[in-house]
Amino acid sequence: MTIFKEKLGEEYLTTAEAKELLADIEYERAMDETREMPYNLSRAIEHVNRFAVLDAEESQELVEELLELDKVDEPTAFKITDLLPKDRDELRAIYAQERFTLSGDELDEILNVVAKYE
């Protein structure tokens, strides 16, 4: 017998936004001494604490600015925000799976937006 869960919705989150959500969950778990912290939850909290560079508001602002650019779609904007590429090669790696390539000017335009948030 297979049990399926219904998918109710989906939205993208930056690592900084996930950090805020997980911090709330961690606080709730800490207040209830009878509940243990599952291994996967503690690893997720450790991950976001290590890799979240911006705060949630800044990361959302960066996503919004990136979405205003022509060659940046929503999933890519969130990847760029999480990774904060510093040069063209790092940015090209994010676009490696796309069916198009960006010109040097387009890459620089994206990097200039990212540079405001570093």
> pLDDT tens digits for 66-87?
999 999 999 999 999 999 999 9
77: exposed, middle or buried (Cβ count in 10 Å: 0-12, 13-18, 19+) = buried
Quickly tell me which residue has 């570093």 as its tokens. 118
pLDDT at 37: 85
Cα end-to-end span (Å), the chain: 50
CA distance 96 to 88: 12
Confidence check: pLDDT of 33 > 70:
yes
The pTM for the full model equals 0.86
H/E stretch holding 28: helix 15-31
Reported as a single tens digit per residue, the pLDDT across 90-115 is 999 999 988 888 999 999 999 999 99
* Amino acid at residue number 87: D
Residues in the chain: 118
Alpha-carbon distance values, 117 to 9, 38, 70, 111, 112 (Å): 30, 34, 20, 10, 9
pLDDT at 3: 79
